[in-house]
Structure 1
Amino acid sequence: MKKTFLLFAALLPMLANAQSKKTFTITGKIGKLNPPARVYFDWTDLLNNGGKEDSADVVNGTFTFTGELEGVATCRMALAHNGDGKMKAVYTGDAIYFNFGPEKFTITSKDSLANAVFKGSKVHAEEDAYNKVIGGTVMTITKWANAEFSAGTPEQRADSNFMKEVDGRFRKRHADRNAAQLVFAKEHPNSVFALIALSEVTNTRRDMDDIIPVYNALNEKYRTSKKGKELDQRIKSVKLTAPGAEAPDFTMKGVDGKPVSLKDLRGKTVLLEFWASWCSPCRAENPNLKKQYEMYKEKGFEILGVSLDSDQKKWEDAIAKDGIPWIHVSDLKGWGNEAGILYGVSGVPAGFLIGPDGKVIGKDLRGESLNAKLEELFK
């Protein structure tokens, strides 16, 4: 543990120097792949406005991405080995998540992104040190759990007690990781990974009392950054959206361009549903929402769908394809959606059930839990 912290401390000055540059170049070399193999690259600048969705053919195993970057970016890179498209590559294929700075570096592997080795990225080296301190990435912890389950005998895998044991170890590792992230953020207030750590911790916490002082001690440039401000709002939103609190009002344009306010729906029971056209779990829930909407709309039930899309056509196409008849709004700012920030949304789907009096009844009810709650309210 001490050696890891020393490595991390040694990398901080190098990261500061990397941030003085304004461009990045990522060169990949994955085996000897050729078209139709294609790499999809989505990144967001954590500290400033900026980001991009990009893609490139893989020619003789090689691809390159370049761009302008002031701070530190978080990204997802997915490789469609057989040209099967972005969605398949992201959700069932070869995808990795990492952070990088305004620097030149390479990603190389004989066969896949998942096995790639990074060279030349000081930010990624710092990220590796950070992950060692906190006990690995979420994907690594999930991979361990899957490996434990797969290592079981057929009899064990069919045993609910075996499943509970594997799940229990997974949950403990995740809880230990969150605790380590909070300690890391407290001890390294001048690291961008302190900001990242706190942001992840707030995703699973409902009590912010021990998070607030750690956030307040962060380096000012992180607190005043785009992600820092979003994190501040997420911390505040825990109280703003607690059951019994009056749901924060907002106004946003509908598909037709006309403004819609949450307060306009006062007197109805409203499901405020945050979703996006690119979110498979969101769209998988739509058939159930349609059924519930048909059952209770005449009794005062309404759904206000807030899309985290940035492309109007994709948003409208998803509404039409899924045949979802309720009210839809979006500011087309993606993860910068102002209502999403107001409500502390860090992932979709995310739902808030609001009573006729405008007060929050519950959060993240979906599937059978939502159905049971609606039945209780409208019986």
Structure 2
Amino acid sequence: MKIRILLFTVLLPIAAAAQTSNFSLTGKIGKLDKPVMVYLDYMDNGVSHEDSSAVVNGTFSFSGTIKYISTARMAMAHQGEGKNTAIYKGDADAIYFDFGKEKITLSSNDSLSNAKFSGSIVYEDYQAYNKAIGGYFIDLIKAANAEFARGTPEQQKDTTYIKAQRDKYNQIWVVRSKKQFEFAKNNPHSYFGLEALSEASGHFNVAKLQPIYDALDEKLRATDVGVKLAQRLKSVSITSLGKTAPLFTMNNVSGKPVSLADLKGKVVLIDFWASWCEPCRAESPNLKTQYKLYKDKGFEIISVSVDTDKKRWLAAIEEDGLPWLQVSDLKGSNNAAARVYGVNGVPAFFLIDREGKIIGKDLRGEPLNKKLAEIFN
């Protein structure tokens, strides 16, 4: 017994040290009170964290320990309606930001959306970065939606108007990506240089990206974002057309492992998606049609969800009536298969032939239907 007490006494300071917080987020939002709740999700070097705080007399707080700079989403449920509603409702009071090992204060008279930050150098750098690349992505999306909404009801149904709005929106992102590329090139020691290159990677080939990546600070390349970007650059070659599709094994909705290797001999569509992704779910009716047409001829779909919430994942499968294979490790953007395949956004599709070779990438809608018709008819 004495030995056990001694060991406990020796270990106690170590445990206490491990629990010491190195960041805090304190908010003061007017005089809001119960049942108002604030929800915080943040990614710390590849590890996802969730927390919540009741708002009492306008005040809430979070604290914890992080290894590096973290990317966060904070949402407020003004009526206590729960996390998912607070995040995904049309007029969601949600903000996205990066923070470090700091004591940060948020203050506003009425909402998170109008909150001012103080005490965070990382947040100030984040704001400067967004200004340099042409704007915060949420603001750009809101502006695009607002511009579309200004069209008449007739215009909003007109394919020419819709295409013009979409083309204009896409061009904004192309320009933004070019600015991100230049920011990364000119700021190799900035975390946001790494983040810029990671976000811009979809618009540049490996030949242009690789030297910029190699010039980044070694410590930045060693972070999870840096490692993930390296994997994405590598994936360009290993997932190009004609290459053997990288194998993976992941649990299905019942927790049982499903392996891509077991599907050899079939034509397989690997579908990376998420319950919260509207374009993903908009494709579901077409996938159901194609699956019904060709499943008896050797066609299979394996949908890989990049969700983190199992209930939302399962609910989406049931709501959309998806009859094919469904797998996920519930690690969000850190989904193991998504990282190997270099998936930086969903939806993403890879079509695999009977020998396990990649014969199509990002085919959906009519291009997918045409390809499947060529194969099976």
Is 2:331 the counterpart of 1:333?
Answer: yes
Which moved further from structure 2: 68-77 or 58-67? Answer: 58-67
Separation in 1, partners of 2:264, 2:112: 49
Separation in 2, partners of 1:283, 1:148: 24
The match for 2:13 is none
Residue aligned with 2:25, SS: strand
Q: 1:213 pairs with 207, 211, 214, which one?
A: 211
Maintained 8 Å contact 2:304/2:327: yes
Separation in 1, partners of 2:205, 2:358: 17
Maintained 8 Å contact 1:75/1:98: yes
Q: TM-score, normalised by structure 2?
A: 0.84
Is 2:297 the counterpart of 1:299?
Answer: yes
Q: 2:273 pairs with 272, 275, 278, which one?
A: 275
With over 3 angstroms needed to count, the CA separation of the structure-2 counterparts of 1:284 and 1:167, relative to structure 1, is: closer
Post-superposition Cα deviations, 1:96-140, rounded to whole Å, max 9, x if no partner, equal 111000111111222222222111111000011111111112222
The match for 1:143 is 142
How far is 1:338 from its partner?
Answer: 1.6
**What amino acid is the match of 2:114?**
N
Maintained 8 Å contact 2:274/2:280: yes
Separation in 2, partners of 1:153, 1:318: 32
How far is 1:80 from its partner?
Answer: 2.1
Matches within 5 A, 1:1-379: 23-45=22-44, 48-91=45-88, 92=90, 93-150=92-149, 166-202=165-201, 204-205=202-203, 207-255=205-253, 257-277=255-275, 279=277, 281-283=279-281, 285-310=283-308, 315=313, 319=317, 322-379=320-377
**What amino acid is the match of 2:79?**
N
**What amino acid is the match of 2:352?**
I
Maintained 8 Å contact 1:28/1:107: yes
How far is 1:244 from its partner?
Answer: 2.5
**What amino acid is the match of 2:216?**
L
How far is 1:79 from its partner?
Answer: 1.7
**What amino acid is the match of 1:365?**
L
Residue aligned with 1:51, SS: strand
Residue aligned with 1:210, SS: helix
With over 3 angstroms needed to count, the CA separation of the structure-2 counterparts of 1:158 and 1:304, relative to structure 1, is: closer
Maintained 8 Å contact 2:267/2:354: yes
The match for 1:10 is none
Separation in 2, partners of 1:250, 1:366: 22
Which moved further from structure 2: 64-73 or 284-293? Answer: 284-293
Separation in 2, partners of 1:281, 1:366: 11
The match for 1:14 is none
With over 3 angstroms needed to count, the CA separation of the structure-2 counterparts of 1:164 and 1:315, relative to structure 1, is: closer
How far is 1:60 from its partner?
Answer: 2.4
Alpha-carbon RMSD: 2.8
How far is 1:305 from its partner?
Answer: 2.3
With over 3 angstroms needed to count, the CA separation of the structure-2 counterparts of 1:110 and 1:326, relative to structure 1, is: same
How far is 1:277 from its partner?
Answer: 4.6
Separation in 2, partners of 1:142, 1:306: 26
- The unaligned stretches of length 5 or more in structure 2 are 1-19
**What amino acid is the match of 1:305?**
S
Maintained 8 Å contact 2:41/2:48: yes
Separation in 2, partners of 1:33, 1:200: 36
Residue aligned with 2:207, SS: coil
Maintained 8 Å contact 1:268/1:355: yes
With over 3 angstroms needed to count, the CA separation of the structure-2 counterparts of 1:366 and 1:35, relative to structure 1, is: farther
- The unaligned stretches of length 5 or more in structure 1 are 1-20
- Between the aligned residues of both structures, percent identity stands at 54
Which moved further from structure 2: 289-298 or 217-226? Answer: 289-298
Maintained 8 Å contact 1:206/1:238: no
Post-superposition Cα deviations, 1:210-269, rounded to whole Å, max 9, x if no partner, equal 111000111111111111111111111122222232211223344455543322212211
Separation in 2, partners of 1:61, 1:368: 52
Separation in 2, partners of 1:315, 1:229: 27
Separation in 2, partners of 1:163, 1:303: 31
**What amino acid is the match of 1:224?**
A
With over 3 angstroms needed to count, the CA separation of the structure-2 counterparts of 1:271 and 1:163, relative to structure 1, is: closer
Separation in 1, partners of 2:74, 2:254: 34
**What amino acid is the match of 1:119?**
S
Q: TM-score, normalised by structure 1?
A: 0.83
Residue aligned with 1:182, SS: helix
Which moved further from structure 2: 358-367 or 341-350? Answer: 358-367
Post-superposition Cα deviations, 1:323-342, rounded to whole Å, max 9, x if no partner, equal 43322333343332221110
**What amino acid is the match of 1:53?**
E
Bigger-Rg structure (1/2): 2
Separation in 2, partners of 1:152, 1:320: 35
Maintained 8 Å contact 1:307/1:315: yes
Separation in 2, partners of 1:169, 1:211: 25
